[in-house]
Each structure stands twice: as C-alpha cells, then as structure tokens.
Structure 1
Amino acid sequence: MSHPEDQDDGALFRSAIGEVTPLRKVGAPATTRPRPRARARMAEQDEAQALGEFARLLHSSTPLEAGDVASYRRDALPPGMFQRLKRGQYAVQDELDLHGANALQAEHLLRGFLLEAHAHEHGCVRIIHGKGLQSDGGAPVLKNLVDRLLRQRNDVLAFHSAPPAQGGTGALLVLLARR
C-alpha cells in the first residue's frame, strides 16, 4: 500500500476528483467559429428615426442661417427674465461645445448635457454650436439642430443667441427650469 506522501501532487489530485470526461481533445482546434459581434439594432433604429425627425423639423420651418439670432421664450417666463437672458446677465453655470460633432453626436451630447445640467440644478448654461460657416452650402446643421431640440424640451424655459462677447450667433444662452 502506498502512502499519500509517496505520490506526486498530480496523482493525488486525479485520485481525489475521480474520472473526468474532457470537453474536447487537448490540442484540437475549436470546431466553431467565434460568433459575430452583436449589432445594436434598436439603437440604430433610434438614430435613424432621430435623423428623420430632425430632417422633418428642419423642413417644417425656415432654417436659421449663419448670422441669424436664435430666440425662444415660453409664455410662462416673465419678459424681464428673458431680457436679462438676451443681455447675458445670468451667470453661466456650465458649457457644452459641439464644434466638430456631426448631427447624431451633437444630439446625443446635447441630451446628456441637459440631463446633467438638470441634475446639478443649473439655471443657465451656454451651448456653443458654431455659426455654421463651414456647412456645405446649406443651413448651419448644428445651429438648427440645437434650436429645434431645445424648443421641444419641457425643461427649457428660454434661449437666445449669446451676446457678442459670449459667442454671438455661434452660441446660445439657455435658461433651464428648476426641478
């Protein structure tokens, strides 16, 4: 009879676990190819729908041109507060610069930025969209995208193109509702 001290560790292990059935032969290649990477079909559909909605919004009204002033005020906002916003008299608590983003990226960044601003209870933010002078012959894409999206949001009380010292017609000052 042999003592456990006389056996090597591998033999002790095999005797402890008993007989095993290998899943595949050692050294044999796997018979299946790796699965293709999953596609986010719903996200792709959402993006396509958002682009379609943006195109519809752009065509449903006259798009803003590069030098146009963007302006919007909900009826519930007192005119005096809107005048202060137009003059740039509110302290800007956060800023988003959309330069270099395409329409889809800009929309995603803008929605995330507004959620964050709302979570931090910011009252006034600046969104830099650029004047759109580099747009390919058409209307400034980001400027119109930001204008249309902000008009649809319930948490936006008002917005207006920034005073020249704060970005002029290439930026918006946005007044947000508190929670």
Structure 2
Amino acid sequence: MAMTDEELFLASMGDVVPLAKSNQAELAQIKVEPTIAQLEKRKAAEQALSLDVNFLSTEYVDLLNPHDVLAFKKPGVQEGVYKKLRLGKYQIDATIDLHGRRFHNARNALFEFIVDCHSSNVRALLLRHGIGLNSKPVPAILKSYINKWLQEIPEVLCFHSALRCHGGNGSTYVLLKKNDEQKTQTKEIYAKR
C-alpha cells in the first residue's frame, strides 16, 4: 500500500528534534548611525524648507492658449483704475523678463520681484513672460502659471495683458497695492484738504 504525502513527510521528519530555547540564535538589532554627509544634507533641507517663504503654488494649473489675454481684477478695484492699467496709461516703474527661465527659477524671481517692488513703493509693473508657443511639455506653461501666481499674491490688485508696444500677449501689466508708507502719505494729503 502506498503512503500518502502526509505519512511520507511524518516518516522523514521522525528523527528531527526541535531546538531548545538555549540553542536559538539571537539576532541583534544593528543600529546604523547616519554619516556626517547625510546629517548635513538633512540639516540643509530643513533650513531650505524653513527659509522658503515663497507661497506660490506649484500644483495643477489650468492651461491657457499661448494667445490668450490675461485679465484679472480683485473685488473693490475701481473700473477706471483697471481701464487705465488695461490701456497701458500707468507709468511702468519696474520690469522683469522671465523669458526662457526654468520653472522654479521663474517662480522665485517673480515672487522676489513683487515683494521688492511692493516694499520699494513701486506700483505699476511689466512682466515679460512670452507666449510660450514652443515651451515644453505643453505650450504656454509659464504664461499659465504667471496667471495663477499673480492671483495668489495678496499685493496684486489687478493685471492685464500688455499693449502690442509693450509685448502684447507675451507681457502683462501688474498694479500693486499701496504699501503702508504710501497709505500714510495718501491719508495726510486728503487730511489737509
């Protein structure tokens, strides 16, 4: 009579003796300390995160057509002010050229430019970003992010694509809020009347 698989297994394992507790091998936890280079990288990354005050998002963006007109006005901005900006009638006090910059470089440059202009009492800006016909991976990626970023910055009152003489749809006029010093000056002027 043939033996079943279970009977064969038990027959072959009949002389095997279980290990006693004292015979068990003990595996010690080996704790590996990070190297000095790894510790320095961690420290640098933590510092970079804590120092980065740039809140402009790098998340999903609604893609624009390269020839789209950028137009945005916060609630409360007077139509006359917006029309004057749209028609290029404000004196442009500062300009930045973001053509050909890499994404993160353009993001940082735009943020720093706006912060510097606001703190220096500069209100009317011109951003040159191009229309992005040949940008990769999709056309107008920088222009699309410029549109999103300008809406995220609290100091920006309104913006509009520029006139042809200032770069057309590849450039944008931006009007910033008055900073505290300018507000005080305006209050003093109107208080004297």
Counterpart AA for 1:54: T
Q: Which residue of 1 aligns with 2:37?
A: 36
Structure 2 SS opposite 1:145: helix
CA distance in 2, matches of 1:174, 1:155: 10
Report deviation, 1:36. Answer: 3.3
1:14-163 matches, within 5 Å, as 36=37, 38-39=40-41, 40-42=44-46, 43=48, 53-56=57-60, 58=61, 62-136=62-136, 138-163=138-163
Please report how far the alpha carbon of residue 46 of structure 1 lies from its aligned counterpart in structure 2 after TM superposition.
9.2
Contact 2:131 2:170 in 1 (8 A): yes
Taking the aligned partners of 1:113 and 1:161, their CA distance within structure 2 comes to: 18
> What per-residue deviation string (whole Å, max 9, x for no partner) do you get for residues 112-154 of structure 1?
0011101111110011111101212523121111110110111
Separation of aligned partners in 2, 1:125 and 1:81: 14
Distance 1:79 1:112, change over 3 A: same
Counterpart code for 2:67: G
In the alignment, structure 2 segments of 5+ residues that lack a partner are 1-35, 180-193
Counterparts in 2 of 1:78 and 1:141: CA distance versus 1, 3 Å: same
Separation in 1 of the partners of 2:70 and 2:130?
A: 12
TM-score normalised by structure 1 residue count: 0.70
The amino acid across from 2:167 in the alignment is: G
Q: Distance in 2 between matches of 1:45 and 1:115?
A: 18
Residue of structure 2 in register with 1:12 after alignment: none
TM-score using structure 2 length: 0.66
Q: Indicate the structure (1 or 2) with the bigger Cα radius of gyration.
A: 2
CA deviation after TM superposition for structure 1 residue 44, in Å: 6.7
